[in-house]
Chains A and B, each alone.
Chain A
Amino acid sequence: NAGVTQTPKFQVLKTGQSMTLQCAQDMNHEYMSWYRQDPGMGLRLIHYSVGAGITDQGEVPNGYNVSRSTTEDFPLRLLSAAPSQTSVYFCASRNTGTGGSAFFGQGTRLTVV
């Protein structure tokens, strides 16, 4: 049972480049989410999804797109990377309806130069 798998673990982008951060879970969780973590700011919610075909914005959605075509996968797309998007990104999943705990991936450290 792999839990939540994020790829890549590290990435360096040039300003203006695009990329997709991958996230997959094998626990059949309905809820999936993306957070970014910056020093002194804790985890801020970017986008989340409560099921396949359903996505919604979190606290800091600008510059990011998501889709949820399957229960297992929830990719995060950066359309035109900016230095302000340099951060550590975490994907998480959990059961909905019962208010359950979240399971996190190991994170993607992204640097935009």
Chain B
Amino acid sequence: SQQGEEDPQALSIQEGENATMNCSYKTSINNLQWYRQNSGRGLVHLILIRSNEREKHSGRLRVTLDTSKKSSSLLITASRAADTASYFCATDASNFGNEKLTFGTGTRLTIIP
């Protein structure tokens, strides 16, 4: 079964609003990563947060990680039409002898101009 589950499955917001997506996972991790996928394309890495970090920022992206709840959230501020895409979280347990990168089911984000 997949490690990560994103919530919600789909999200539609007006341009300029903030978008928040959540990810829950099941086992101990080394880090958690977020990726974006534009329609018909490969995934692109956005941001990585390590298990000893609680919050990380990159431009308009803010990621939080709560290892006690095994959950993470991705916040996109001041959304733009170009942010329309699917977003996936992925867990890395490489410090636990598991090199696999396991993805969740994704959140489909639509920004309405």
Q: Is the CB of B44 within 8 A of A45?
A: no
Which B residues touch A50, using CB under 8 A?
99
**CB atoms of A33 and B101 under 8 A apart:** yes
Interface residues of A in 16-60 (CB under 8 A from B): 31, 33, 35, 40-45, 48, 50, 58-59
Docked Cα-Cα span, A4 to B45, in Å, equals 14
**In the complex the two chains form, what is the Cα distance from A107 to B39 in whole Å?**
11
Least CB distance from B10 to A in Å reads: 11
A40-B105, A94-B101 as given contacts; A101 in contact with B43, CB under 8 Å: no
Interface size on A, residues (CB 8 A): 28
Residues of B within 8 A of A94 (CB): 101
Give chain A nearest CB distance to B2 CB in angstroms.
Answer: 6
Main SS at interface, chain B: strand
Question: CB of A90 within 8 A of chain B?
Answer: yes
Give B36-68 interface residues, CB cut-off 8 Å to A: 40-45, 48, 50
Q: How big is the B interface, by class?
A: 20 to 34
Q: Determine if B25 is an interface residue (Cβ-Cβ < 8 Å).
A: no
- B103-A99 in contact (CB<8A): no
Contact B103 A97 (CB under 8 A): no
CA of A101 to CA of B31, assembled, Å = 10
B96–chain A nearest beta-carbon distance, Å: 11
Say yes or no: is A69 at the interface (Cβ < 8 Å to chain B).
no
Chain A residues closer than 8 Å to B50, beta-carbon distance: 99
Report yes or no: A35 in contact with B33, Cβ–Cβ below 8 A. Answer: no
CB-CB under 8 A for A90 and B95, given A33-B100, A59-B2: no
